[in-house]
Amino acid sequence: MKKMSNIYESAANTLGIFNSPCLTKVELRVACKGISDRDALSKPDPCVILKMQSHGQWFEVDRTEVIRTCINPVFSKLFTVDFYFEEVQRLRFEVHDISSNHNGLKEADFLGGMECTLGQIVSQRKLSKSLLKHGNTAGKSSITVIAEELSGNDDYVELSFSARKLDDKDFFSKSDPFLEIFRMNDDATQQLVHRTEVVMNNLNPAWKTFKVSVNSLCSGDQDRRLKCVVWDWDSNGKHDFIGEFSSTFKEMRGAMEGRQVQWECINPKYKAKKKNYKNSGIVILNQCKIHKMHSFLDYIMGGCQIQFTVAIDFTASNGDPRNSCSLHYIHPYQPNEYLKALVAVGEICQDYDSDKMFPAFGFGARIPPEYKVSHDFAINFNEDNPECAGIQGVVEAYQSCLPKLQLYGPTNIAPIIQKVAKSASEETNTKEASQYFILLILTDGVITDMADTREAIVHASHLPMSVIIVGVGNADFSDMQMLDGDDGILRSPKGEPVLRDIVQFVPFRNFKHASPAALAKSVLAEVPNQVVDYYNGKGIKPKCMSEYESSRTLAP
């Protein structure tokens, strides 16, 4: 086993997939309804414990406060968890009755539990399920979990300051003022956020508008104190202090929609010494504009569905499926590489698709009844409705179509990319972020129609879609790497470059000894950025943004 995990780690490390940066943090708010106590005479003192699964074991992440004598608790404590799109993150919420005399957990105190994935919660934004106790529903009790992205990380703000009647510090000319803004940190240190340019010889300066991220301005905390200092610039670097004031981002937000916010600029020494000292000038914030940078979770929580399509290579180079050496051989106990790759990637995508119906196609085979070669046939042989119910439905359709096909060739994938691109292009007419398409192509060899495929990918890079190609078997896949634009920019045969990098190629053999999660992690890690690049690039906002914003406050 030790040897196996070493191989897993070396495969993972070569692909750089360990310690993938956390995509974002999510806050989970929890409320329960109708909790019944084991003791019918008294109400329970509920507490919710959040557990996460790692390597098959459950471990406690955090717990809420205990709410005394309550059957419909709304907990104020939030759970903050790291969200990774490319992993299945299994969560378990357990409700326990914590009596006042001890804080430990006893079997008798367990009131019910609920298991789900973090993907299910963020894609629905609000997940309500019955609480289960030993496999049965625990009375009419239920739990509701609401997800909210920890925002403020990517938004940025545009600020425009001016001042009037600043103190004159220069003998032969007027002051040369500039403004510095500091963020006051939790440990009482201060961090410079922005320094304006110097406006020469002017006691009524108007500084240039500047942009700064909300994160660097106030670490996402609107009430964090900001210290603003005005200086008179001096060429020797010994700038003269004019005055200072303090504010918060919350206060600065008052300068939205044409309003202004003003502060008196105070020199504490003058204030202490001079009786009728008023101020050393007035600083005015003329404009505060917030630019929201929408994240992957904003789109998912806004109702964007991931439409997952799979395409399987049925060319003759795979070998006769009846022969145990074939890549398509159906072993009674051991899934082949096609199935392993399909399940690993499909399991994650299905959490983000509400109808769980997946179109599945094949290419490179002769299909009944005429046995003509097709490069985009439905593997359930229903051209009008190629969708299969769940990943399990795709697996079953794959297994039942194999004996009916004649594996043939060549390996052409442009037709299937064009087919999904057609659906994605219809989606663009809505001008909404409602469906993003992921096409998973499983193939055993180098493709024959490279020029057409490059053309199809360049066209698809303008559409809400991404293509994931997993190379199965031991062929030389070096040509396939060029489709994955990481090394350079992919161009069509006419020289047109891709608008954005939408292809991810991975050889399955790199993961032969790793867990399915490692493969999924590698091929899906780029998807969230591809989704965001597409919609932000088109200026398309998440669908129900207003609903999402209003759901940020949890009603009791």
Looking at every residue in the chain, the average pLDDT score rounds to 86
- Examine residue 349 and state whether it is found in any structural domain, yes or no: yes
Predicted confidence (pLDDT) at residue 104 exceeds the cutoff of 70: no
Mean pLDDT of 77-99: 89
246 and 314 fall within a common domain: no
Q: 26 has which bridge partners? A: 81, 149
The model's pLDDT over 400-440, given as tens digits with 9 standing for 90+, comes to: 999 999 999 999 999 999 999 999 999 999 889 999 999 99
Say how far residue 72 (Cα) sits from the centre of its chain.
32
Residue 402 main-chain phi, psi, to 5 deg: -50, -50
450 and 476 fall within a common domain: yes
Give the closest residue to 492 by CA, choosing from 460, 524, 467: 460
- 8 Å CB contact between 297 and 149: yes
Domain that holds residue 311: 296-431+445-538
262 and 350 fall within a common domain: no
526 and 488 fall within a common domain: yes
Instruction: Indicate the residue type of 228.
Output: C
Distance CA 504, CA 522 (A): 9
- Examine residue 547 and state whether it is found in any structural domain, yes or no: no
Non-local (6+) Cβ contacts of 482 within 8 A are 488, 490
Coil, strand or helix: which one is 7? Answer: helix
- Examine residue 78 and state whether it is found in any structural domain, yes or no: yes
Residue 525 main-chain phi, psi, to 5 deg: -60, -30
> Who has greater pLDDT, 359 or 100?
359
Give residue 101's pLDDT.
55
Residue 65 — very low, low, confident or very high, per pLDDT cuts 50/70/90? confident
- 8 Å CB contact between 549 and 292: no
Give residue 23's pLDDT.
58
- Examine residue 554 and state whether it is found in any structural domain, yes or no: no
- 8 Å CB contact between 76 and 47: no
Non-local (6+) Cβ contacts of 64 within 8 A are 30, 47, 48, 49, 75, 76, 77, 79
Domain boundary among 125, 150, 175: 150
281 and 307 fall within a common domain: no
- Examine residue 549 and state whether it is found in any structural domain, yes or no: no
Instruction: Write out the DSSP string of 169-235.
Output: --SSS---EEEEEEEEPTTS-EEEEEEPPP-TT-SS-BPPPEEEEHHHHHTT-TTSEEEEEEEE--T
245 and 134 fall within a common domain: no
Distances (CA, A) of 310 to 154, 352, 540: 33, 15, 27
Give the closest residue to 95 by CA, choosing from 52, 131, 128, 126: 131
Q: What is the CATH number of the domain that holds 60?
A: 2.60.40.150
Distance CA 344, CA 356 (A): 15
362 and 472 fall within a common domain: yes
Q: Is 295 buried (19+), middle (13-18) or exposed (0-12) by CB count in 10 A?
A: buried
Give residue 554's pLDDT.
31
3-state SS, 18-75, equals CCCCCCEEEEEEEEEECCCCCCCCCCCCEEEEEEEEECCEEEEEEECCCCCCCCCCEC
116's tokens: 């789900």
**Can you give the C-alpha Rg of the chain in angstroms?**
30
Question: How many domains are there within the chain?
Answer: 3
Instruction: Write out the DSSP string of 389-403.
Output: EHHHHHHHHHHHHGG
137 and 188 fall within a common domain: no
Domain boundary among 150, 167, 198: 150
> Who has greater pLDDT, 76 or 230?
230
The model's pLDDT over 148-172, given as tens digits with 9 standing for 90+, comes to: 776 545 677 899 999 999 999 888 8
Give the closest residue to 347 by CA, choosing from 317, 306, 313: 306
- Examine residue 5 and state whether it is found in any structural domain, yes or no: no
- Examine residue 378 and state whether it is found in any structural domain, yes or no: yes
Residue 450 main-chain phi, psi, to 5 deg: -55, -40
Domain boundary among 291, 318, 340: 291
- Examine residue 132 and state whether it is found in any structural domain, yes or no: yes
Mean pLDDT of 528-538: 87
DSSP conformation class of 121: H
Predicted confidence (pLDDT) at residue 451 exceeds the cutoff of 80: yes
370 and 266 fall within a common domain: no
Residue 426 main-chain phi, psi, to 5 deg: -65, -35
Give residue 154's pLDDT.
61
35 and 161 fall within a common domain: no
Coil, strand or helix: which one is 451? Answer: helix
Give residue 545's pLDDT.
54
Q: 223 has which bridge partners? A: none
192 and 336 fall within a common domain: no
282 and 317 fall within a common domain: no
81-107 CB burial, b ≥16 within 10 A, e <16:
bebbbbbbbbbbbbbbbbbeeeeebee
pTM: 0.66
419 C-beta neighbours (distance < 10 Å), count: 18
> Who has greater pLDDT, 544 or 132?
132
Tally helices (H) and strands (E) across the chain.
Answer: 13, 26
DSSP conformation class of 376: S
